[in-house]
Amino acid sequence: MQWTDQLRQVKILLSCAAIIICALSLTWSHFLVSDLSDEEHRKMEVWAEAMRSLDSADENTDMSLVLKVINGNHTIPVIVLNADGSVQTYRNLELHTDAPEKVDQEVRRRAEKMKGEGNCIRIDLDENDFMEICYDESSLLKRLARYPYIQLGIVLIFAVVAIFALLSSKRAEQNKVWVGLSKETAHQLGTPISSLMAWTEVLRETYPQDELIPEMGKDVHRLQIIAERFSKIGSLPEPKPENLNEVVGHVVDYIGRRTSNRVSITTHMPEQPLYANLSSQLFEWVIENLCKNAVDAMDGQGSITITTFEEPQRIVVEVSDTGKGIAKSNFNDVFLPGFTTKQRGWGLGLSLAKRIVEDYHRGRIFVKTSEIGKGTTFRIELRKN
């Protein structure tokens, strides 16, 4: 539980840091664009005064300076309108048409748009005559305004790729730990199980009438099955068509004999066989883990209901209990390694069940419903043959 809380806190801190960085970057870019926009406005005021000087020029006017200012504008789109609204001249416009009859219409439309955005300077020439200098942001300023969003997008893509790579690396490392631990567990169990099997045979021959020895034999056989399950973790078992009802029935028989009489296990299964591609030993392990978790959640008293049925595209197993329930915020966390609400336990049962269902059977397992104080239903979905 603490591990998952720490992981959640780290994610929250990283998210907050990313939001702060994005906000600072956008704020800084906004002020920078605003300053450049003001600078372009001042340039257009100077350019407008140059146009006034050009219109009222006489023999004493320094035309070289006026023309230098006017011709020095290579970036800011500008349109000069006469008093009657006709286009006098324009510069740095990217027109979408070459037809002469349509050029004037497009330029006038662009001028009206510039005036609507407030980018217009009026120059009074005399009492009855004036010019309007309409301008737009330069292409450089527009690119600069878009640049922070492009930059943040690239950073976001890089972060997503990095997180995905880290998660993949972490998952691969976890898989190696799972496989190594499972193989070593199977290896360590092998020798004592073989010895117990031999001693059981000796006891059976020595005391053929003893009723406890066959039960001991069943438990030893059970240990052998458990060792085989561990040995299959990490390998690629080949699922084959199995009657799902029989697999569930084996688990119910085993769990029923080893739980309190205060726990009732009920099954709802179709009468006809329900076949699915299974590794029966591993899938029995999944149902066992769900049933054992249900018994713990009910504190050894309540009912477990296992239902199997067929849908058009899948075969479904549902395991319901009348236990404590799971908070909705923990529906996904219950499958994380180390997550547990019990005082004892490592929180590996459901994580192992998820790996078996998804990695080895290409299915899904999830919390279908849960209500605090009333119980939980886990749902397993398997592909049809």
When divided into structural domains, the chain yields a total of 3
pTM beyond 0.85, yes or no: no
Counting DSSP H helices and E strands in the chain, the numbers are: 9, 11
How confident is the model at residue 1, as a pLDDT?
Answer: 45
- What is the rounded average pLDDT of the residues 27-45? 84
On whether the CB atoms of residues 121 and 48 are closer than 8 A, the answer is yes
For 256-304, the pLDDT digits (tens) are 887 888 899 999 999 899 999 998 888 988 998 899 889 888 887 899 9
Residues 130 and 23 in one domain: yes
Of 300, 289, 365, give the one whose Cα is nearest residue 331: 365
Residues 28 and 127 in one domain: yes
- What is the rounded average pLDDT of the residues 43-60? 79
| 96 belongs to a structural domain | yes
| pLDDT for 40 beyond 70 | yes
How confident is the model at residue 279, as a pLDDT?
Answer: 85
Domain range holding 265?
Answer: 237-383
| 64 belongs to a structural domain | yes
| 194 belongs to a structural domain | yes
Residues 59 and 183 in one domain: no
| 303 belongs to a structural domain | yes
- 184, 203, 235 — which closes off a domain? 235
| 149 belongs to a structural domain | no
Predicted confidence band of residue 243 (pLDDT cuts 50, 70, 90): very high
CATH, residue 296: 3.30.565.10
Residues 248 and 379 in one domain: yes
Of 224, 266, 228, 230, give the one whose Cα is nearest residue 248: 266
How confident is the model at residue 310, as a pLDDT?
Answer: 92
For 288-345, the pLDDT digits (tens) are 889 988 988 888 789 999 999 999 889 999 999 999 998 888 888 888 776 666 655 5
Residues 16 and 116 in one domain: yes
Residues 230 and 241 in one domain: no
Residues 241 and 379 in one domain: yes
For 7-34, the pLDDT digits (tens) are 566 667 767 777 787 788 778 888 888 8
Residues 329 and 373 in one domain: yes
How confident is the model at residue 2, as a pLDDT?
Answer: 47
Residues 172 and 133 in one domain: no
- What is the rounded average pLDDT of the residues 158-176? 73
| 274 belongs to a structural domain | yes
| 359 belongs to a structural domain | yes
| pLDDT for 5 beyond 60 | no
Q: Residue 225: phi, psi to the nearest 5?
A: -65, -40
Cα angle value 342/292/217 (rounded, 5°): 130
| 174 belongs to a structural domain | yes
Residues 248 and 312 in one domain: yes
What is the secondary structure of 225-291 as a DSSP string? HHHHHHHHTTS----EEEEHHHHHHHHHHHHHHTS-TTEEEEEE--SS--EEEE-HHHHHHHHHHHH
Greatest Cα pair distance, the chain, in angstroms, is 135
- 117, 137, 157 — which closes off a domain? 137
Residues 266 and 353 in one domain: yes
For 73-127, the pLDDT digits (tens) are 888 888 888 888 888 888 888 877 777 678 878 888 888 888 888 888 888 877 7
Residues 243 and 230 in one domain: no
Q: What is the mean pLDDT of the chain?
A: 82
For 125-145, the pLDDT digits (tens) are 777 788 888 888 887 888 888
- 235, 252, 284 — which closes off a domain? 235
